[in-house]
Structure 1
Amino acid sequence: MTASLDAVERTALLTAALRAAESKRPDRLYEDPHAAALAGDIGPELLAEVIRATFPPGRERTIPSTPDYNAIRTRFFDDYLRAAAEDQDTTQIVLAPAGMDSRAYRLDWPERVRWFEVDRPAVLAYKAERLGATEPRTDHRTVAVDLTEPDWEARLEAAGYDPAVPSTWLLEGLLYYVPAPDAHRVLERVAAISAPGSRIAADIVNAAALTLPHMRGLLDVFSGWGCPWLFGTDEPEELFDRHGFDVRATQPGEAGADFGRWPDPVPPRSERDVRRVFFVHGRRR
């Protein structure tokens, strides 16, 4: 089944491997009991490549610590989604793409919530095989479709999504893998089927992260796999504003996105030519 996943789809196995490794730490920020099964044999191999690039033997690390970043990202969005679910008006949560995410299986959710996972057919088929008889803890619905296809909105609605009701969207590990026009198009389409007051969250890198020489080691790994990073922005608030969302952008290491784990300085937004990652979160106007 793993052989049916393409390069971009396999990055979901990397994320699962990172979550499996985090779950073994005594100071873990979360516990994902399904991550190791979802990572399979390929995930740890991908992680080993990233670790070699991130922590080169005998040389100072210049690349962001991928394990710490992923741990913070996962915990940040765990907390974000759980806070959204506490709102009595929250009845639908959409993960697009879903990848190897197991939040529907490892966290508890109110009975009123419908949980939608949107991803390519090969990803969802692999995930279902690896999870086996494991039952989700929510009203869980999968939508097997690529986000670039012309009819994914209709497929989502056919699964029970109601565009007239406020929703919560998580676009995790997506935007830097697509060209700028596709990133804009995804946000435009999500906005079009999100009622006013809907929540959105996403992660995105800045433009410099795609070109800085000291990022080359990590960028080359992803390019070598056939899934280069293609899009970044220094103004994430403006990007989402163009599509009808009022958002904040939080960097790992800042208040609410640290959890005692971010190992690097957090440069002020006014500083140029430095690598950044943003956790974007806000609402549809």
Structure 2
Amino acid sequence: MSGALDPVERTSLLTAALRAAESGREDRLFEDPHAARLAGEAGFALLREIREATFPPGGGRSAPSTPDYNAIRTRFLDDYLQRAARRDGAPQIVLAPAGMDSRAYRLRWPAGTRWFELDRPAVLAHKQQHLASVQPRAERRAVALDLTSPAWEEDLLAAGYEPERPSVWLLEGLLYYLGGPDAHRLLARVAALMAPGSRIAADLVNAAALTLPDVQVLLDVFARWGCPWVFGTDEPEELFGAHGFKVEALQPGDPQAGYGRWPDPVPPRSAAGVRRVFFVHGKKQPA
């Protein structure tokens, strides 16, 4: 089934492999019992390429640590979604895109939580094939669609999503691959589907992270795979604010987003010309 995935879709197998590797650590930040089967041989092959690029023979680490970043991101967003679900009273949770995420299966959710997983048909088919025997812990609805299509909202509404109800949207591992206009367009469309007070979370990099030499070795791998990173911003608050969200942007290694695992210094926001990753989270404001 992994052969049917396009280059961007295949990165979901890498994420699953990273989560499987993290789950095998004694100091793991989370446990994902489904990640290895979702990753398959293709996912672990991608992970080997990332490790070879990050730790070249005969030298030390030459690039940011993808395993540590993925572990921190996963744990941070696990905690964020579960807090949001408890606060908002069994909301609608929307993964856009869903990739090989298994949170609906591996975490506990308030009774009545409705979980929408949006992704292209090939991705959802791969997941269904490998998790068919596993029961989700929420009311999970897989919605096959392309977030770049002109009318994907209709598919989501047909699946039972209710825009007037509170929702929590997660845009994980997505914005890197969108051009600036496409990122704005997607955020505008998502915002139009969210009731005031609904929550959003996402990850993205700054502009320098797309050009600096210490990141280039990883960017070259993704470009070789056919899924280059093309978007970053130094002002995530403005990006989301332009679409009616009030957000906070944390960096891995900040006190609220480190878990003792981030191996690099955390640059202050005032420092120029340094790579950054942001964990963005906040609420849709009233019109």
TM-score, normalising length from structure 2? 0.98
Structure 2: distance between partners of 1:8 and 1:185: 19
Residue aligning to 2:31: 31
Shift of 1:62: 3.7
Secondary structure at the counterpart of residue 41 of structure 1: helix
| Aligned ranges 1:125-164 → 2 under 5 Å | 125-164=125-164
Point out where structure 1 has 5 or more consecutive residues left out of the alignment: none
Structure 2: distance between partners of 1:90 and 1:241: 26
For 1:262, the aligned partner's letter is: W
Residue aligning to 1:167: 167
Residue aligning to 1:102: 102
TM-score, normalising length from structure 1? 0.98
Structure 2: distance between partners of 1:117 and 1:76: 19
For 2:277, the aligned partner's letter is: V
Secondary structure at the counterpart of residue 79 of structure 2: helix
| Aligned ranges 1:255-266 → 2 under 5 Å | 255-266=255-266
| Aligned ranges 1:71-220 → 2 under 5 Å | 71-220=71-220
What does the per-residue CA deviation read over 1:164-204, in whole Å, with 9 as the maximum and x for residues that have no partner?
A: 11210000000001111111111000001101001000000
Secondary structure at the counterpart of residue 81 of structure 1: helix
Residue aligning to 1:49: 49
Structure 2: distance between partners of 1:63 and 1:36: 25
What does the per-residue CA deviation read over 1:218-268, in whole Å, with 9 as the maximum and x for residues that have no partner?
A: 000000000000100000001000011000000000011101100110010
Structure 2: distance between partners of 1:79 and 1:126: 26
Percent identity between matched residues is: 69
Is the contact made by 2:64 and 2:214 (CA closer than 8 Å) also made in structure 1? no
Is the contact made by 1:90 and 1:167 (CA closer than 8 Å) also made in structure 2? no
Shift of 1:90: 4.1
For 1:163, the aligned partner's letter is: P
1:59 correspondence with 2:59: yes
Q: List structure 1 runs of 4+ shifted beyond 4 angstroms.
A: none
The 1:198–1:88 alpha-carbon spacing in structure 2 relative to 1, beyond 3 Å, is closer
Structure 1: distance between partners of 2:216 and 2:260: 27
Structure 2: distance between partners of 1:228 and 1:46: 15
Residue range with higher mean Cα deviation, 150-159 or 25-34: 150-159
Structure 1: distance between partners of 2:147 and 2:74: 22
Residue aligning to 1:278: 278
Residue aligning to 1:22: 22
Report the aligned-residue RMSD: 0.9
Structure 2: distance between partners of 1:56 and 1:80: 35
Shift of 1:50: 0.5
Structure 2: distance between partners of 1:203 and 1:196: 21
Shift of 1:133: 1.3
Structure 2: distance between partners of 1:84 and 1:58: 45
Is the contact made by 1:50 and 1:218 (CA closer than 8 Å) also made in structure 2? yes
Q: Across the two proteins, how many residue pairs are aligned to each other? A: 285
Structure 2: distance between partners of 1:88 and 1:69: 28
Structure 2: distance between partners of 1:218 and 1:247: 28
Residue aligning to 1:6: 6
Structure 2: distance between partners of 1:115 and 1:91: 8
